[in-house]
Chains A and B, each alone.
Chain A
Amino acid sequence: MIYLEVINIVKEFGGLVANNNVSFQIEQGEIIGLIGPNGAGKTTLFNCIVGFHKPDSGKVTFKGKDITGFKPFETNREGIGRTFQIMKVTTGMTVLENVMVGAFCRTDKRNIARAEASEILSFLGLEGVKEYHINELPIAIQRKAGLARALATKPELLMLDEVASGLNHKETEEVVELLRRLNTEKKITLFLIEHIMEMVMSVSQRLIVLDGGEKIAEGLPGEIVKNENVIKAYLGEKYAKSH
């Protein structure tokens, strides 16, 4: 059985084709990178999978079940978690409370939700900031809090929309380390959109490339950097030469 299968997804926004016949498959346990220039349709594709957008046509199946047109909360309950490229900076709840909300998805008991949230926060090294409101924290920590919140729902497939953007080199390395741990220790399949090439190349086992709404390439990182379409569309001559 195919783990996640995306078949011929089309999504238009008033004439602008943001996703055009995109198809691919993901296997359980993989780490897959999704790359492409700005406006390529990466976030849109995520939204079509998790249900924030209903694709105009095409199909999404997860573990053999057709989840096309499911609502976001329904795809989450199927086991798909996601983080946002732009996290709303909210003032109403502390980091701990945010993560507890995630944990509440699997329990009705506050004590259990709190214990699970605390566990995840310490897994991510965030115990120190749990009583802060998200708007009081630096961006790197905010992104981690967003990740913690998604993790608290116990996803088996986690879709990350640019978790490392805005982070410095050291912070990025930490995130890479963290993602590897999630994959190996928690057995979470990862599907990530990323702009930082070094990062996505090093962490992903396989890459999918979008450009202008279409999938233009798919393969191992080593193949992708040599792929002519990709070089033309996205990576630029410089990167190709230097590798």
Chain B
Amino acid sequence: METIKDALDFRDFSKAERIGLILFTIFLLAFPWIGTGSFVKAVMIQFLLFSLFGMGWNTIGGYGGQVELGKAQYVGIGAYTVSLMMVWWKIPFWVSMPIGVLIAIGYSFIIGYPLFRLKGHYFAIATICTSLVLQDIFINWKLVGAAKGIELPIHEHPDFLYMQFKSDTYYYYFIMVFFYVALFYMNRFRKSKLGYQLRMIKDDEEAAESLGIDARWCKIKAYTIASAFVAVGGGFMAVYNLYIDPYSVMDLDLSIKIALMAMLGGAASLWGPIIGAAFLVPLDRFLGSWLGGYKGLIGVDFMIYAMLIMAVSAYQPRGIWGIIEQFRRKGK
């Protein structure tokens, strides 16, 4: 009960933020009806999806301050679980997606245990490596489609259980529901014991330990929560795209984008990952279709992101949200 109350309690936010949240919610609800094309709707779905990823990343990467660059492996676990269970055993999305989340939790716990013996850059590199290894395994694993990936069987009629719809609008509303669940969860998380403990670990890990905090265990918990979030998004990607392969759901690109968006928007803040996704998802789409024509320009998009994040973080390490807060503090 108290948990739910906390999740829905935005009283500690400024009036502007609360009004912003209401307007934003009205906008999201109305969006499919304002007559935009399918391209814009697809961008919106991506935006909500990456906000979800970013909010998950924010637990360990933002509040916990651990440079985590391996979230793609959990997108993959979520996506593959849903796809394979559907192809092999016709198991509906609403069963396979939670199973994917459980697998992600178990897997993240197992690799989190040794991973969090490492600190700083070593940790960051190790997260990249574990993700690359898993991707490599899937690229070579015949049983799960290897590099060719998996196509999901297309149902003739719309099917809620299997999350198959003719219109993107349905997918839009479903990802929106996930988005809000994530948002409310994070609203509670930031006020929870674990949230406070992680922020202390980020500030000063030795001091945190001296205050009775088992830093490694806290990090593992946060990492596991982050992985669960991301696996939900992965499962959604499978039913939304109806096709997955190790490149689309487990690539390093994806891991970096998730972390980058949250950092650009403002790590360790509730709105940060959402703001970051609002900037980078459209930019990503735009650059993708613009640069797509030029074969030699692969990677230019990442150069642009890198410059963006350097520009923002040179000014304010806490990203766009940090800049907003800085002005608010000055204004007072």
Q: Are B191 and A76 in contact (CB under 8 A)?
A: no
B17 within 8 A of A: no
Per-position binary interface string of chain A over residues 142-174, scored 1 when its CB falls under 8 Å from any chain B CB and 0 otherwise: 000000011011000000000000000000000
How many A residues are at the interface, by size bracket? 20 to 34
Provide the residues of chain B in CB contact with A113, threshold 8 Å.
193, 196
Is B72's CB within 8 Å of the partner chain A? no
- B159: Cβ under 8 A from any A Cβ: no
Q: Does residue A19 face the partner (Cβ distance < 8 Å to B)? A: no
Known contacts A92-B199, A97-B196; A52 and B206 CB within 8 A of each other: yes
The answer on a CB contact under 8 Å between B193 and A153 is no
Contacts of A185 in B (CB 8 A): none
CB within 8 Å of B: which A26-71 residues: 50, 52, 71
Distance of A81 Cα from B209 Cα, bound (Å): 10
Complex: how many Å from CA A100 to CA B207?
Answer: 13
Q: B210 — which chain A residues lie within 8 A by C-beta?
A: 50, 52, 72-73, 76, 81-82, 84, 150
Total cross-chain contacts (CB, 8 A): 74
In the complex formed, the residue of B with least CB distance to A81 is B210
Residue A22 lies at the interface, judged by CB distance under 8 Å to chain B: no
| Interface: A98 (CB within 8 A) | yes
A108–B2 CA distance with the chains assembled, in angstroms: 12
The winner among B191, B197, B200, B208 for most chain A CB atoms within 10 A is B200
Contact string, A81-108, partner B, CB cutoff 8 A, digits 1/0? Answer: 1101001101111000110111011001
B215 CB to closest chain A CB (Å) equals 7
**Per DSSP, are chain B's interface residues mostly helix, strand or loop, or mixed?**
helix
**A72 contact set on B, CB distance < 8 A:** 206, 209-210
- Known contacts A92-B199, A101-B200, A110-B191: does B207 contact A71 (CB below 8 Å)? no
For B214, give its contact among A71, A100, A108 (CB under 8 Å): A71
Residue A77 interfacial (CB < 8 Å): yes
CB under 8 Å from chain A, chain B span 179-232: 191-193, 196-197, 199-200, 202-204, 206-215
Spell out A's residues near B (CB within 8 Å): 50, 52, 71-73, 76-77, 81-82, 84, 87-88, 90-93, 97-98, 100-102, 104-105, 108, 110, 113, 149-150, 152-153
B interface residue numbers (CB < 8 A to A): 6, 191-193, 196-197, 199-200, 202-204, 206-215, 268
